[in-house]
Amino acid sequence: MDKRSDVAATVNTSDKMGNMSIPKLLFGMSLPAMFSMLVQALYNIVDSIFVARISQDALTALTLAFPMQMVVTAFAIGTGVGVNSLVARKLGEGDKETASQVAQLGLMLALIIAAFFAGIGYVTAKYYIGLFTDDAVIYEMGFNYLAIVMTFSFGQCIEVILNKTLQATGNMLTPMISMLCGTATNIILDPILIFGYVGAPAMGIRGAAIATVIGQIVALIVTLTVLIFRKQEIHIFFRKGFRPTKENFFGIMKVGVPSIILNAIGSVTTTVMNAILIAYSNTAVAVYGAFYKLQSFAFMPIFGLNQGSMPIMGYNYGAHNRTRFVATFKLALVVAVAIMCLATALFMSIPNLFLMLFNADANMMSIGERAFRMLSLGFVPAAFSVIYTAMFTSVGYGTRSMLLMLLRQLILCVPFIYALGKLFGLDYLWLGYGTAELISAIAFTPVAVYTYRKIFPGAKLRELFGRVIESLKEADETPVEAGAERAAGGADTTERGYDRPEEESKE
């Protein structure tokens, strides 16, 4: 075997992030995540549809429980994003050993998070639901659902963090398959356990919770099976000599903690929204719950783009390739805006059809049609914010992602909604959501530009927006060829026409 063959043999599968055509790479990495998230969105819809068939009170109880369920998800996703970001950057730098150490530390954190929620699930559910309702029926259903999904959330916690780690190496297929299997299990079990089909006892909302937990465990089993029987680029399971280090822990947490907060903000916002809306009626809460589940069909593809673009940008940041970094950002932004334009058109034109899925009566239909149209006005500005978040997180600026999410979902959204409700009533409070999204996107556009010019000194403002086709062509002409360069002893990245900034305290 000649020297060139030796070099080629050392090229890691993750090096496609430095060499493959950006459109092919971005869609190849995003589509599995988008598909799996759409499947998850389908589960959320189906779960709520079945629960709504029990009663409107059951849908209200599910909506009240949902924010605490989101907190569990926030810890898993946030920690996973921290692991993903650091692993991708280490692979971009060619440090495979440290990437493996980070992955193993991520697994350890997953086990700790799972144990934590198993310990507090029952008590949290007991007191949380009582904060929002005195209705005994709604309280009992909300408590029964939340106690189960929090206490037995280990499947979700471990599976999410393992799959985020795999995504950092460019493996988007395994997370998609595991989520598909888990969600399919959930959807199949929902009617069986809720209504008592095929000989199972009719457990009502408890059945929905049990179906959720079983689906999460199935997803974890699928991921573990792949990890056990297929060799991975990095070592994710604990190995002899593994020692968690402060450097790796804080490297994960620097991005992970802001991401946890970022994901938990949605829980806080939903909790406050429930508290505001229940003062008007239980039906208003049910409408918001229905919208929240339906809008995931718009947002999940955007989050898939976020997941697909983040390791690509992180890798090319680590590999010093500005051209490929900015091409990925611009293509992700264009696709995200296009998706949100379509979603806005659908929510504006057929809100009544969406509401019929939830067995809406005349009162729910009246409130819901106006609410859906007003709430959808925030979709397009949100596309900018989600892709900005991917850029910030990919280069280690997790705090900026957190601040953007705080601004759009809490600092601006909640006061606007509360004030509009007080001034104009329930019919117009929904406008607060879109107003907050628009202001946030405008406010953080200069921050995105500043971040880009800071991580790539000498970069021009015009590079970040516009000229998408030209950027993609330029990216194809400037591959990283990371594996070959490292195998040959490294390469001078300054030849690409820019300097790599020194390591610094980013926040």
Residue 13, pLDDT above cutoff 60: no
What pLDDT score was predicted for residue 347? 96
Residue 67, pLDDT above cutoff 80: yes
Residue 183, pLDDT above cutoff 90: no
- 382-397 tens-digit pLDDT: 999 999 999 998 888 8
Q: For residue 465, what are the CA distances in angstroms to 29, 282, 384, 456, 500?
A: 22, 44, 12, 15, 22
As a whole number, mean pLDDT of residues 360-384 equals: 94
- 426-451 tens-digit pLDDT: 999 999 999 999 999 999 999 998 89
- 445-482 tens-digit pLDDT: 999 988 988 888 877 777 777 677 777 777 666 666 54
Do the Cβ atoms of 246 and 390 come closer than 8 Å? no
Q: What are residue 239's phi and psi, to 5 degrees?
A: -125, 160
Q: Residue 198 gets which letter from DSSP?
A: T
Q: Residue 254 gets which letter from DSSP?
A: H
* Best mean pLDDT range from 131-135, 205-209, 357-361: 205-209
Do the Cβ atoms of 390 and 305 come closer than 8 Å? yes
Ranking 87-101, 122-136, 289-303 by mean pLDDT, the lowest is 87-101
As a whole number, mean pLDDT of residues 244-252 equals: 89
What Rg do the C-alpha atoms of the chain give, in angstroms? 23
- Report how far residue 414's alpha carbon sits from residue 430's, in angstroms, rounded to the nearest whole number: 10
Higher local confidence (pLDDT), 489 or 302: 302
Ranking 38-47, 139-148, 242-251 by mean pLDDT, the lowest is 38-47
Q: For residue 469, what are the CA distances in angstroms to 312, 330, 356, 396?
A: 18, 10, 42, 27
What pLDDT score was predicted for residue 32? 80
- Report how far residue 428's alpha carbon sits from residue 298's, in angstroms, rounded to the nearest whole number: 22
Do the Cβ atoms of 397 and 313 come closer than 8 Å? no
What pLDDT score was predicted for residue 349? 96
Closest CA to 311 of 398, 251, 388, 393: 393
Portion of the chain with pLDDT greater than 70, in percent: 90
Higher local confidence (pLDDT), 396 or 376: 376
What pLDDT score was predicted for residue 41? 79
What pLDDT score was predicted for residue 344? 96
Closest CA to 388 of 446, 454, 460: 446
- Report how far residue 56's alpha carbon sits from residue 274's, in angstroms, rounded to the nearest whole number: 15
What pLDDT score was predicted for residue 201? 92
Residues 61, 62, 65, 66, CA torsion sign: negative
Q: Residue 407 gets which letter from DSSP?
A: I
Residue 492, pLDDT above cutoff 80: no
What pLDDT score was predicted for residue 4? 35
Do the Cβ atoms of 370 and 347 come closer than 8 Å? no
Tokens of 5: 């063959």
As a whole number, mean pLDDT of residues 166-171 equals: 84
Residue 28, pLDDT above cutoff 80: yes
What pLDDT score was predicted for residue 338? 95
Closest CA to 408 of 434, 435, 440: 440
Tokens of 191: 């009617």
What pLDDT score was predicted for residue 323? 84
Higher local confidence (pLDDT), 98 or 280: 280
Residue 490, pLDDT above cutoff 70: no
As a whole number, mean pLDDT of residues 207-219 equals: 94
Residues 446, 451, 457, 462, CA torsion sign: negative
What pLDDT score was predicted for residue 2? 40
Global pTM value: 0.74
| Identity of the residue numbered 480 | V
Distance linking the first and last C-alpha atoms of the chain: 48
What pLDDT score was predicted for residue 494? 34
Q: Mean pLDDT of all residues in the chain?
A: 84
Cβ-Cβ contacts under 8 Å for 36 (sequence gap 6 or more): 175, 176, 178, 179, 180, 304
- 304-342 tens-digit pLDDT: 899 889 888 888 888 888 888 888 998 999 999 999 999
